[in-house]
Structure formats: structure tokens, C-alpha cells
Amino acid sequence: MKRICRRGPAFYLFLFLSAIVVFIFTYRNFSSTHLSSLFEAPFEDTKPVRALAIELHPKEHIRRLPTSLTHHWNITEGVRAPDGVNKTVYLINGEFPGPTIEARTGDQLIVVVSNQLKKGEGVAIHWHGLHMKGANHMDGVVGVTQKDIPAGEEFTYKFEISKTQAGTFWYHSHSELQRADGLYGGLVIHRRFEQGFSESDNFDYEDDRLLLVGDWYHRSAADVQASYLQSRNSENEPVPDSLLINGLGSFNCSTVVHLVECKDVRRPSMKMSPGSTRLRVVNVGAMSGFNLTLESGNMRVIKIDGGNDVVPSASVESVGILYPGERVDIISDGPGNSLTIALDLENFHCPEQVFTAIQTFAIEQPKKQAGHRAIGPMPESAGQTILVYTHIEMPAHDDQVTIGYMNQTNWIPQVEPLLYVPREQWDNHQFMPTVKATEDWVDIVVNNFDDQGHPFHLHGHDFYVLTRHEFPRADIKPYNPFDPPSQFSSLSEPLLYPRPNLENPPLKDTIYIPKHGYVILRIRADNIGVWFFHCHIVWPMVTRLAMGLDVR
């Protein structure tokens, strides 16, 4: 279904009012330009003004024995102006984004979360990408693995980080829209020093930095969602206003379209010491993918989504598009270049309103290449195959809202989390196929009928991406693994389905499923529990594009 940007009389009234606002702000800025340039002139390079990168401390973790790390978190709300525009955001111990957790493989994490939000507002925290083996009940999904933590109460998350997981992860609220209003933070697991080598030896870098990058809305997520769900606007995904890195950004106040108080702030910059740097990039956004490029420099991608497999690491200029929830670890070499982050326009149907930001980073000398390792070939077929379809139902009447379906089910959380309720008592909004916990492979085939792509995240497991394909036209028959294998493309029939990659498929935990397309994901269902599998964009997530795997 083709979507268009609908514009009613209200839009034109809005445009007229915006023009007045823009005029007022432009006038105001003219009168304040002189003052602000005076203020910025004596800027000293040695002073870390709004420095971007979060510095990581692998040396404090890689040579010690596994231990138990305890954090106490108070979750509150407060006003911050990350890009010069005030917004009420969530704070963890007064910080936005929340404090970065650093640990090593095999550590136990204890996070005591005290919900100090206003009455009626619950919270739950998900540890994105961690396997949570033996700790399904700590996975943080309201309605699936826990009830939300009510305001005024405390909940202790306690789990072990597996001895095989190391890499770039993050945590975020899994309770409605809070992620889009800033309830997230970084979670980095350092690999222990092994056989005389650290990861920085293997990949040849000196510094380790975290970049939490994402789109940003000036209105509260509740407001954005309300206008999205209103049938008049439901066909146009909400366009973000800004872009933040580690909770910092800059917004050009003279381009303001919504009624906001705005203060021009200098675009933040990143300092790096001489030597090459590992940049761990996380898309913490609500909706947009982004493309990350190095101007006239080079970078090597070494990992994706915290997976243990090392990605073939030729020098690249861009890493392609990173969608919400996805991570990429890169090594940057080469001094004095700039790093460009551009929001992807594909999912916006009114892209003329999209804001794009450029951020600048200093980069140092190139060094030698790191090696890479390939996984062994996989069997042709898996022991079990799960086939699902996703689609978004458009409103038939003006008063209905858009709803996302996995097969015929739109997910609504049960009051009692599934983990604590026998399967017979799950209601029919729970689509959680049963998977036998074995050492065998399980394939998950997801066909997306929507005219928009969706990043999906699977909890508790990594998956190999055997196929990701977008059909050239909307009318092509979706992929059905139960049809005979002659369905794969050949020279004479190039329009059919590509052959799955069984040689060196990437290992991930979040995957972008293209519009009119499909993915084949292969997991080892070796982690018993109920594991959520859902669209990681905040807005359609709320329209219930979610299911799960009941691994038993």
C-alpha cells in the first residue's frame, strides 16, 4: 500500500503558525548572533567542551577474576537540553543517558533499580543482547518475564554474564515508550586477557570508546505516539527533530517548526588521543537507521551486535545503515578526519522535514590489519523451522488505529508475566511457538508484508542471518521454506529467492527486515525460557509487532 503525506486544513494552519514562529526565532537569533559569537570566540581546544565519546576502561576488567558488580539506580525524571531544546527525560542517578556499565566475561551483575517516578508509572530494564542464561526472569520484558516495577518500589536484577559473551551491548527500558525519552545506557563486556593477548592486541587499538547514537524527538514520546496513532497521521511515521550522541547534539534554532524554546549550542566534538581507537557504536534511537562514514579516512569493522565472530575486516568507508538496537564495533585510523552520521530517509514518508546532523571526530594513524575467522559451513536444513508473517493493518475506518501483526496475532502484554503462568493460561495475544531446546539448529523465517522495513530483536540468543532479501516488487510470493528447494533463484529465474548463505553468515541479535522482504535466521535454541522477538522501533512496537519463542 502506497502511503502519502496527508495534509488537511490543520496542516496549513500549522504551517502558517510555524512561519510566524520561525520569523520570531530568526529575528531573535539575529539579535543574539553577535553575543553568541563573542561568547564562542575564545574557545580553547584543550578544554573538553561537550566532549562526545564515553571513555571505556578495559584495563580495569580484563586481567581480574570474575566478580560480582553491584549498581544502585534511582530512576527519576528531569529537564535536560541535550541539543539546546528543553525536554523532560528519564534520569538514572541524575544522568542522561544512564551510567555506562562495564564488566568482563563471567561477572555477576546486580542492579538494584529504585523506581522514583511519578505515581502510576512503572519501569523495567532489558539487557539488550545478553543471553541471560538461567536468568530468563531477569530479562526485563513487562508481560513476558516480569511485572513492571511500580513507582516507589525497588527490584533487583541479578544475573551472570556468560563466559562466552563479550562485546558491545546496551540496556534500555522495556516498558512502553520510555526508551524514546532517554531511559537507556551503555553496557560493555570486556573480553578477558587470553593466552597472552587482549582484544586491543588482537585488533590493534589503544583507546576504547562508546558512542550511543540515535534520533531524538523534542516532544515527549507519548505526544509523538498520540499523533502517530491518530488515524489521520498514522500512515506517516513521526519524523525526529534531532540526533544525539551520548546525550549530546545541536539543533539549529532557526529551523524550528514546532513551538519549542531553543538555545543554539555548539555542535559537540570528539577528542581522541594519538593512536587508533575502537569505536563501539549503538543505535539507541526510536525509529531511524543511520549511516556512518569516515571522511577521507578508513575504518575496519571488527564486530557486529556484540557477536563473537570477527567480521572480515577490510578497510571500509561506511558501515552501511545501522538500525535501532543494532551495534557495530569499528577501529578508526587516520588523523584529522571527520565522522559523518546521516539519518536514513527510507522509512519517512515526509522526508523533507527530516533533520540530518554532522558530527566531527579526530582520528589517528592507521596500523596493521587484524585477521578474521570464518565459521564452519552449516547444514543445509535446520531441525525445526518456524515460519511467520508480519504485516501492519491500516485503519479501515477513521477512528481506528494502526495495528501490527505477527501471523494473526497482535501482542498485548498479559497482566501475569508469561514466565510465571502455565502455557494453557496464555491469552490469544501471545504468539510464542514452542521450540525444543536441543543442540540442533532452528530456523526462523520472517516474511514482511509491510511497505516499510522493521528492525527485529531476539532476546536470549544470537542468530546467524542466512538470508536477507527485499523483493523488487510487492506482488512477489513470500518465501515459504516448506516449498521444494527448486524455488531458489537461478540465472534463468533471477527473480526468485536467493540461496541461503551457509558459509559465513553474520551473527547478530538485531536484524533489519526489509519492506516486501524476508529473512532466514538460524539459532541454537539452547537457552530455556520465554524470549521476546519484536520490532525494535519504538512506535510500531507499541502497535504490538511482537512475538516470542518458548524454548523448553
Q: Which residues are at the interface with ligand NAG (CB under 6 A)?
A: 72, 74, 79, 81, 86, 93, 114, 252, 254-255, 261, 263, 291, 293, 318, 320-321, 386-389, 407, 433
Dihedral angle of Cα 398, 404, 407, 408, to the nearest 10 degrees: -40
Let me know: does 261 contact 45? Beta carbons within 8 Å. Answer: no
Query: Minimum distance from CB of 425 to ligand NAG (Å)?
Result: 19
Residue closer to ligand NAG, measured from CB, 173 or 233 = 173
Please state, in angstroms and as integers, the Cα–Cα distance from residue 345 to each residue in 184, 490, 492, 519, following that order.
Answer: 24, 32, 34, 22
Let me know: does 279 contact 208? Beta carbons within 8 Å. Answer: no
Q: DSSP letter for 90, please.
A: E
Query: Minimum distance from CB of 292 to ligand NAG (Å)?
Result: 8
Query: Minimum distance from CB of 156 to ligand NAG (Å)?
Result: 14
Residue closer to ligand NAG, measured from CB, 58 or 249 = 249
Q: Mapping DSSP to helix (H, G, I), strand (E, B) and coil, where does residue 34 land?
A: helix
Query: Minimum distance from CB of 386 to ligand NAG (Å)?
Result: 5
442 dihedral zone (left: phi>0; alpha: psi -120 to 50; beta): beta
The per-residue b/e assignment along 194-223, b for 16 or more CB within 10 angstroms, e otherwise, is eeeebbbeebbbebbbbbbbbbbbbbebee
Query: Minimum distance from CB of 92 to ligand NAG (Å)?
Result: 9
Residue closer to ligand NAG, measured from CB, 321 or 551 = 321
Residue closer to ligand NAG, measured from CB, 254 or 308 = 254
Query: Minimum distance from CB of 207 to ligand NAG (Å)?
Result: 25
Residue closer to ligand NAG, measured from CB, 141 or 388 = 388
Query: Minimum distance from CB of 93 to ligand NAG (Å)?
Result: 5
Rounded Cα gap, residues 548 and 531, in angstroms: 5
Rounded Cα gap, residues 140 and 534, in angstroms: 14
Residue showing the smallest CB distance to ligand NAG in the complex: 261
Query: Minimum distance from CB of 12 to ligand NAG (Å)?
Result: 21
Rounded Cα gap, residues 420 and 307, in angstroms: 30
Rounded Cα gap, residues 90 and 68, in angstroms: 27
Query: Minimum distance from CB of 194 to ligand NAG (Å)?
Result: 34
- Residue positions counted in the chain: 552
The per-residue b/e assignment along 291-315, b for 16 or more CB within 10 angstroms, e otherwise, is ebbbeebbbbbbbbbbbebbbebee
Let me know: does 171 contact 184? Beta carbons within 8 Å. Answer: yes
Residue closer to ligand NAG, measured from CB, 62 or 281 = 281
Rounded Cα gap, residues 436 and 238, in angstroms: 40
Query: Minimum distance from CB of 62 to ligand NAG (Å)?
Result: 27
Residue closer to ligand NAG, measured from CB, 233 or 448 = 448
Instruction: Give 447-490 as a DSSP string.
Output: EE-SSS-EEEEESS--EEEEEEEE-SSTTSPPP-TTS-GGGB--
Residue closer to ligand NAG, measured from CB, 12 or 23 = 23
Residue closer to ligand NAG, measured from CB, 135 or 446 = 446
Residue closer to ligand NAG, measured from CB, 2 or 482 = 482
Query: Minimum distance from CB of 246 to ligand NAG (Å)?
Result: 20
Rounded Cα gap, residues 388 and 408, in angstroms: 9
Residue closer to ligand NAG, measured from CB, 29 or 231 = 29
Let me know: does 457 contact 541? Beta carbons within 8 Å. Answer: no
